[in-house]
Amino acid sequence: MGHYLIAGKILRVDLTNQKISEEPTNAYFEQFIGGRGINAKIIYDGVTPELKPLDPDNIITFGAGPLTGTEFPGSSRTDIMAKSPVTNLLGNSNVGGHWSPEVKFAGYDHIVIQGKAEKPVYISINNKNVDIRDAGNLWGKDTWETQSLIKAELGDLDTQVMCIGPAGEKLVCYATIQTCMGDAAGRTGMGAVMGSKNLKAIAVRGTGGIKIADPNKYSELCKEVYNLLKEHPSYQELSQVGATRLTDLFGKINYIPLENFQKYTWDEGKEISCEDFLKKYLYKKVGCFGCPMRCKEFYKVPDGGDVVLSCNFYSDFIWRLKNSDMKLFLEIASLCQNNGIDQISVAGIISWAIEMFEKGVITEKDTEGIPLKWGSRETIIPMLKKIINREGIGDILGQDVKTAANQIGKGADKYIMHTKGNPLYGSNIAPFRGSALATAVGSRGDLMRSIPLLELNRVLISAYGFDEATLKMYEEYYDDLAEKITGKRKAAISTEYEGKSALVGYYEDIITINDMLGNCKWISSYLDIPITPEMQANILSAGLGISIEADELFKAAKRIRCLERAFDVREGLTQFDDTLPDRLFEPLPDGKFKGERLDRSKFEKMKEEFYTLRGWDTKTGIPTGQTLEKLGLKEIAEDLSNRGILSSTKKKSKR
């Protein structure tokens, strides 16, 4: 009877015929563990290349992991997957908050949605009771009000809600799914997929428990993890000042691109201190379920309202748009959260528009009289609102970048900074060769699924103002770590190419492991915190009552990554899509890395090394039949063979 750690059931809801069904999680668990892993399998099996991302039959799946909802710190994550309207490939975003623990308390590990409701609806899950309810009165409401209204309607304030805002309803390509206070599944347009299904929200309430095979041991091990975590400098930093101070440091090392990746220095930026802003207006540090890190900041700003921020907001809406007005910054951030739109994409799209305006590709005729200027409130606010409401030029820019560029014409595509259609993060990746590689080959077409933080950290420490001896100590620490991971000390140095494929592979595995366990990667080896896959495997073993080794977690991570890749190649992805915009291969114009250039042939060589390391074809990047079989994905190999994608194995058999 019963299950340990996992809830044991996957809930499927078909909105077209209102069919609700369940299936056991066990069928997936052994190979794909949970979260992103099981999601990938469900999407691979259910979403074929013929389906368009906003077709009713596209599937969107929400997954918790085996550690979700337990004492393991940061076990709050929900992994969301669907075919992406941004990339037309596998879309994926991972979000914190309180939602997926509640899903497990309700008795489910995954919630899989297919079909399209006739009218706006939301799904209410209360333990075994699953209801598809009218959302007519919620349509058009912002993401905060939607959550409050649903809680009030259901009469239980402990209900947890995932929802879309007006941007998702209007099918803005970069729409997010939001939960709690400003937590967003931001990337790859998962909110647009929900919108296309007329699905406003999923509300969950559960009163069941997660069973543990060895509660005492589980608890003891989690206490050890807590103690390790609390002693670590990353914890001290994130729990006190979040990622806010990081933005100031990023500015110092010219890590944030300005003017659509044309510049990396900004004199006015030197005067801006996000740390001072935090000290002045921080009301409270807040966090997700089961998380001691509390990396988000709750601000109460006089005349600026209440905003919860973390991560990229500062770099996107201060630096990238050259905006030095903190009130405007808060206003933009609020608009994004309320309307459910991805701030990273929006910063990229508005930057693209401003550059096009400067280059004469678009004019005031296109923008309905709005002159587009960097750092201007009169540019940013109306453009943002146009995109959210799909009005005027915003209707064009609210689509995927390739379609938008085609409609604009006049060489508009030259100025989009994207990979696979996904607008780039606000990171100066060219002089960070590992990050450049990660952006090109990473899952979902962006940096964050495989960023080798080590090479960034080794540069970042130069901005802390340490004395020379301390700096040297840190540099050696990172060099040692790089050697340990890749066998090459040089891999720690950002501008080197050597060892970068192995470094990216390692970080990609670590991130995947956390995504499949339902953990926050910020509480793991990803941030050099000594909470390793070995420890995660021990805790998993205590919870499950069976022995699991770290090697098995690594193998599962490789399997999942390979499956995701297989999905993408089935969609038509080729090695030529694993690239970066031309601009990133030009010598850098200014800043710390002035004159540095990402060498195209060395970049291609890194790519080939990475493919080889992953067991993908060195030239085409298609997972080989042998690799797929070795990872237990024989049925995937057969599918790709039947479709003529795995030609090499077919040819061999014919010979």
Nearer to another protein, 210 or 349 (CB): 210
Tokens of 105: 């308390």
For residues 79-108, which are near another protein according to CB under 8 A?
Answer: 98, 101, 105
Closest residue by Cα to residue 23 from 4, 6, 44: 6
Using CB under 8 A as the binding rule, whether residue 562 contacts another protein is answered as: no
Q: Which of 26, 137, 148, 642 binds another protein (CB under 8 A)?
A: 148
Shortest separation between residue 205's beta carbon and another protein, angstroms? 10
Q: Which of 298, 474, 477, 554 binds another protein (CB under 8 A)?
A: 298
Residues 6+ apart with CB under 8 A from 573: 89, 420, 565, 621
Piece of 32-40, 262-270, 279-287, 333-341 that binds another protein (CB under 8 A): 279-287
Tokens of 536: 């995660």
Using CB under 8 A as the binding rule, whether residue 294 contacts another protein is answered as: yes
Give the distance from CA 69 to its chain's centroid.
Answer: 20
Nearer to another protein, 223 or 472 (CB): 223
Give whole-number Cα distances, 550 to 179, 486, 513, in Å. Answer: 32, 18, 10
Shortest separation between residue 278's beta carbon and another protein, angstroms? 15
Shortest separation between residue 63's beta carbon and another protein, angstroms? 18
Q: Which of 279, 284, 327, 385 binds another protein (CB under 8 A)?
A: 284
Beta carbons of 62 and 80 less than 8 angstroms apart: yes
Counting residues that bind another protein (by CB under 8 A) gives 43
Using CB under 8 A as the binding rule, whether residue 471 contacts another protein is answered as: no
Piece of 205-213, 366-374, 632-640, 643-651 that binds another protein (CB under 8 A): 205-213
Distance CA 429, CA 145 (A): 38
DSSP 285-318: EE--TT-S---EEEEEETTTEEEEE-TTHHIIII
Shortest separation between residue 294's beta carbon and another protein, angstroms? 5
Shortest separation between residue 106's beta carbon and another protein, angstroms? 11
Using CB under 8 A as the binding rule, whether residue 239 contacts another protein is answered as: yes
Nearer to another protein, 51 or 286 (CB): 286
SS3 (DSSP) at 419: strand
Residues 6+ apart with CB under 8 A from 426: 256, 257, 312, 315, 316, 319, 320, 344, 347, 348
Nearer to another protein, 207 or 403 (CB): 207
Using CB under 8 A as the binding rule, whether residue 264 contacts another protein is answered as: no
For residues 206-225, which are near another protein according to CB under 8 A?
Answer: 206-212, 215, 218-219, 222-223
Using CB under 8 A as the binding rule, whether residue 241 contacts another protein is answered as: no
Closest residue by Cα to residue 13 from 180, 198, 154: 198
Q: Which of 46, 56, 292, 615 binds another protein (CB under 8 A)?
A: 292
Beta carbons of 357 and 363 less than 8 angstroms apart: yes
Beta strand 199-205 pairing with 121-126? parallel
Distance CA 300, CA 440 (A): 39
User: Which residues, listed in sequence order, are joined to residue 61 by a DSSP beta bridge?
Assistant: 81, 112
Residues 6+ apart with CB under 8 A from 74: 96, 288, 290, 291, 292, 293, 519, 520, 522, 523
Using CB under 8 A as the binding rule, whether residue 304 contacts another protein is answered as: no
How would you write 126-155 as a 3-class SS string? ECCEEEEEECCCCCCCCHHHHHHHHHHHHC
Nearer to another protein, 96 or 189 (CB): 96
Shortest separation between residue 215's beta carbon and another protein, angstroms? 5
Piece of 131-139, 280-288, 438-446, 515-523 that binds another protein (CB under 8 A): 280-288
Using CB under 8 A as the binding rule, whether residue 460 contacts another protein is answered as: no
Q: Which of 286, 381, 471, 613 binds another protein (CB under 8 A)?
A: 286
Using CB under 8 A as the binding rule, whether residue 69 contacts another protein is answered as: yes
Shortest separation between residue 209's beta carbon and another protein, angstroms? 3
Distance CA 40, CA 564 (A): 6
Distance CA 586, CA 72 (A): 45
For residues 5-34, which are near another protein according to CB under 8 A?
Answer: none
Give whole-number Cα distances, 253 to 221, 394, 436, in Å. Answer: 38, 34, 17
Binding site for another protein (CB under 8 A): 69-71, 73, 98, 101, 105, 144, 148, 157, 180-181, 206-212, 215, 218-219, 222-223, 226, 230, 239, 283-294, 298, 300, 306, 308
